[in-house]
A and B are shown apart, each in its own frame.
Chain A
Amino acid sequence: MTTLFAGRETRPVRFALWGAAWLLLLVFYAGPLLLIVLASFAGQWNGALPSHLTWRHYGQALTGDQAGSLWASLATGMIASTAALALGTTAALALRGARPAWQRIGSLAFYLPSAVPTVSVGLGLLVAYSRRPVLLNGTVAIVVLAHLAIVSAFAFGAVQAGLARLPPEYEDVAAGLGARRFYLLRRVTLPLLAPYLGAAFNLAFALSMGELAATIMVYPPGWVTMPISIFALTDRGDTFEGAALTVILAAATLLVLGGVARVVARAGGRARKDRRAR
């Protein structure tokens, strides 16, 4: 990568590289997305392009059997990623400075659920919590738990990467100036980590919003997340409605990610506003 894009190539080569990158993006990412957006407005789709464009599918997607999906997904995503962030941050902070052996064991505990197929995570939870003493089968909690198990590895990983990149001088200087452990954490370490915390939350949230395999194993009747609704709609042939729900899912996810980015900018940098004021 670094040698390819080091800027030493000739112009035609660089254009060719850019062209290839854009093409890939278009074919595998923008293309399907565009088709989904088109489908979500389609009254009919017989020729090359859809016809009888309509908002109807959106209305149905938000009012029919799937009306609760948006809420279920947002709530699950929020709770699971907040918990994953808290857990991942605490663990990453605790493991920092621990013996290498402990660091390995701790990391393994976090990474294990992300290493096995998500459907097995769902199955595992189902088996484990369908009997006494912990009966979670058929509750919302087991859905949140499944999401937490899957996304916390990514939150943990993002925070750990941030901590590894934090220059030690900041904390050293702060400690030297008299900051005790929690004061230092609150006023220096966490603010400096803010971009990584934001990234950790975003990653966890985006993953949770799209999670299907584990959720399908454990979800109770009253808590159908968006991916499950999309799957169900498409499965019974309501493709356009499924497409509308997909667009809503993507929009809701992007909206939350954007909101997090703003919060991070305010907490960590306060940079943009000030640079303008200067």
Chain B
Amino acid sequence: MDGMDGPRAAARAETGAGIGFAGVTVAYGGAVALADFTLDVRRGEILALIGPSGSGKTTALRALAGFALPVAGRVTIAGRDVTGLAPAARGIGMVVQSYALFPHMRVAENVAFGLAARGVAKAEQRARALACLRLVGVEGLAERLPRQLSGGQQQRVAIARALAIRPEVLLLDEPFSALDAQIRRAMVEEVGRLHAAMPELTILHVTHDQTEALSLAHRIGILRGGRLEAAGESRALYQTPPTRFAAEFLGRANLLPVEVLGVENGAAMVRFGTAVLRARGGAGRGRRLLCVRPHALRLHQAENGFAARVDGVRWQGETHALDLVAGDTRVHLTSSALREPPRPGTMVTVGFDPADAPLLDDA
């Protein structure tokens, strides 16, 4: 993740508006699926929309694509209000979870579909379809039927079909969820490459896989029950989640109940059980939650640390996962594989860098 941040940021063409949701509310027969949703995606940006199943992610995409009519609010593409526009007039490329390749058309025809619908000349249709297939690395499959392709190949064809109309906006609705882990990783990289080749393209990527979101998106929006719970730069959102829900949904988090005692040298002093610890910034007093990621905890570090009993130890190949209990709080720690892992039942100290431990409201 780390090394990619630089080139990705540079590749981003921040030259204006990409997608805008302004107070968008969508209801299905009375049931509100998306409530007062406001979010802007800059041109050339990759934004991941994550959230539990049923939180309104697909509904947001459908509102943007024109398949769900908002009862309130406006949707804009490149600064243009498209709220009342037919889907066909919006110029959006869309990839759905089931791929929905037309089973009665060959791959090349599938990819050329949008061009044919727009009346592009036959020869140009074919040339552009093949170019798009080449872009996603499957030009050899042009004459196949969809049923003759593997899941990953279908996925690539679906992306090629969406890109063939040269859309300003690409919508991906959980596109990789049906693929196995290895192909999924390859596809995530592929989309990253595609975007580097097309830095103007705005991508709205719906997923429930937070790793996918973190590794691909510049920014992330978290939906919860039809409302936007949090949104921000991927790294900032991960490092400083604004809410408990955001902390637990985007990666794993230990949320330790603490009492804020005050501020000292720019660090918050908090009491966790009997230990007094330093945490990142934050004014105010009273009961808060200290958020520290499992991999930010250091085993056997007394500095800014607390005592915990080892409850379970799991070796996971490259890493060790430790289940700890401090007071009556369960704490998870991951570290690179240990030569001599502690035995269950023994006491250990674990510490952390205050910069890795923001404070949250207990809500």
Q: Give the B-binding residues of A (Cβ under 8 A).
A: 167, 169-170, 172-180, 183-184, 187-188, 191-192, 194, 267-271, 274-275, 278
Contacts and interface: CB of A to CB of B under 8 A. Distances in A.
- Among B117, B147, B165: residue with most chain A CB under 10 A: B117
B148 A167 contact: no
> Closest 10 CB pairs between A and B?
A177-B114, A169-B100, A179-B117, A178-B117, A175-B87, A191-B104, A176-B94, A173-B100, A169-B96, A178-B88
B102 interface: yes
B145 A274 contact: yes
B147 A170 contact: no
B67 interface: yes
Contact of B148 (A179, A194, A268, A278): A278
Contact of B145 (A167, A169, A271): A271
A170 B102 contact: yes
B98 A179 contact: no
A173 B161 CA distance: 10
A268 B91 CA distance: 28
A259 B89 CA distance: 41
Contacts of B98: 167, 169
Interface string B62-73: 100111000000
A270 B88 contact: no
Interface string B93-119: 110101010111000000001101110
A113 B118 CA distance: 43
Given A167-B98, A271-B145, A271-B147, A174 B104 contact: no
B320 interface: no
- Among B100, B147, B165: residue with most chain A CB under 10 A: B100
Contacts of A275: 148
Contacts of A274: 145, 148
B96 A173 contact: yes
A172 B87 contact: yes
Contact of A176 (B90, B103, B104): B90
Interface in B113-138: 113-114, 116-118
Given A172-B87, A173-B96, A178 B114 contact: yes
Contact of A268 (B66, B104, B147): B104
Given A167-B98, A176-B88, A177-B165, A270 B114 contact: no
A139 to B, nearest CB: 41
A269 B103 contact: yes
B160 to A, nearest CB: 12
Contact of A172 (B93, B96, B113, B161): B96
Interface in B187-217: none
B282 to A, nearest CB: 45
B92 interface: yes
Nearest to B104: A191
A191 B104 CA distance: 7
